[in-house]
Structure 1
């Protein structure tokens, strides 16, 4: 075969190999622009100061400057506000517009996971391992404490499909245990969410319509993201940057990856245990410190006696 014939065969073959070797890349369930917002409304964001928000606050709305109240006025836009750290207040910016589109996509991707395990309306008193759960509407969906146990998986993820509303009772609580920085927690709400007075909530609320955070309700690791309606804040604390063992989880937005139209749970990754000294080591250390302290107390006395003798 001539060199020209070989070249004619090699060129299309190389092109085919290049195309075949370029798989679709995976992205987080909350894409980067959306993940930068801790509070995002479609129509308005209303705040009764003083709230504490870590991450961007924004709205994509034709309401312009009037679409956000209770934060620093605009212009400039985006604008800094003392209630907002590690972020800015966005009124109809390009970033807010992009995030709003990514929110719709995220809600659809979560819905594609299916209904999972059906539960009763009130989650209080349950301890749930990672997975997908469907929770029907009720007078309340949380009247006490819900515990989410990651079972030692740093990439643990929970998805709650709420076909209608998400409602918590006053002083209710969500606890996440035995997981790490790759964890994710998502509340996919079919209409509106109401987080009642003094509730200590966790996770990302992705609501089709509106989200109301009643007085002093908190979400110390998560977001309030409204797809078509408003977000109402009343002296709340919300953070897309977590602390303690959830630090680095980017507001509990891990656990899931999206490749094309496929949503997958991340593989198991063991939680790295915190090193704790053995009891015998602690006792030996304590004895050594006590001995050193006794020696230091005696030394000045000996020096003084030598001085008197001189």
Structure 2
């Protein structure tokens, strides 16, 4: 299930389209998909350029053990992992922004959960991934992934209030749900509706992905 648009550019290989329930439009190597590819690259570079001087370096830590993170820029020099649960607290700021700069791969374990709480309508979560991202079986992810290479969603993994944007590889799905809208997203589990990330038009992005086919820290709190 994709609650949003699906796009591919360049190339024309969208495999298993008949098995995808999509609410939006399929853009297969058309002008919209081409522009989205350009915009995705611009957004990726924008996120990567966020000041490292003001970022918190979480290299070597498991995101599932850092506790609660507040809005800001977080950096991993190489791989980033999420096992267990990670809570992002937007502190009731409607424009709260979370940026994760990941040098190489992003991996979530099976049944891992990333939960955004106390957010407003424009609270945003972005993961800029230097290589590829893999979401483990049954994991629940929140926010947009922009990967330099590919994105794989294992069985029953889901992305709510976000997008999967792969610049140079495939977005591979297996019985997943991706939603760009928080109006239809499930409750966060804390009695609060999940806020939708700010429109990616802010960074020039409008598609849920550039390819799709069928077929995973010491406790820290950012003050």
Contact 1:137–1:165 (Cα < 8 Å) also in 2 = yes
TM-score w.r.t. length of structure 1: 0.58
Query: Is residue 168 of structure 1 aligned with residue 108 of structure 2?
Result: yes
In structure 2, the partner of 1:117 is 56
**Structure 2 CA distance for aligned equivalents of residues 143 and 136 of structure 1:** 18
**Structure 1 CA distance for aligned equivalents of residues 163 and 3 of structure 2:** 10
Deviation at 1:205, TM superposition (A): 0.1
Contact 1:137–1:162 (Cα < 8 Å) also in 2 = yes
Contact 2:2–2:20 (Cα < 8 Å) also in 1 = no
Contact 1:183–1:254 (Cα < 8 Å) also in 2 = no
Q: Where does the alignment leave 5 or more consecutive residues of structure 2 unmatched?
A: 188-192, 204-223
In structure 2, the partner of 1:242 is 182
In structure 1, the partner of 2:27 is 90
> CA deviation digits over 1:154-205, x for unaligned, max 9?
1111000001110011010001111110111000000100011000000000
Contact 1:196–1:214 (Cα < 8 Å) also in 2 = yes
Structure with the higher fraction of residues in helix conformation: 1
Give 1 or 2 for the bigger CA radius of gyration.
1
Deviation at 1:136, TM superposition (A): 3.9
Deviation at 1:246, TM superposition (A): 3.8
Contact 1:193–1:210 (Cα < 8 Å) also in 2 = yes
TM-score w.r.t. length of structure 2: 0.80
In structure 1, the partner of 2:41 is 104
Query: Is residue 55 of structure 1 aligned with residue 4 of structure 2?
Result: yes
Instruction: Point out which structure has higher relative CO (alpha carbons under 8 A, 6+ apart).
Output: 2
Query: Is residue 132 of structure 1 aligned with residue 78 of structure 2?
Result: no
Deviation at 1:255, TM superposition (A): 10
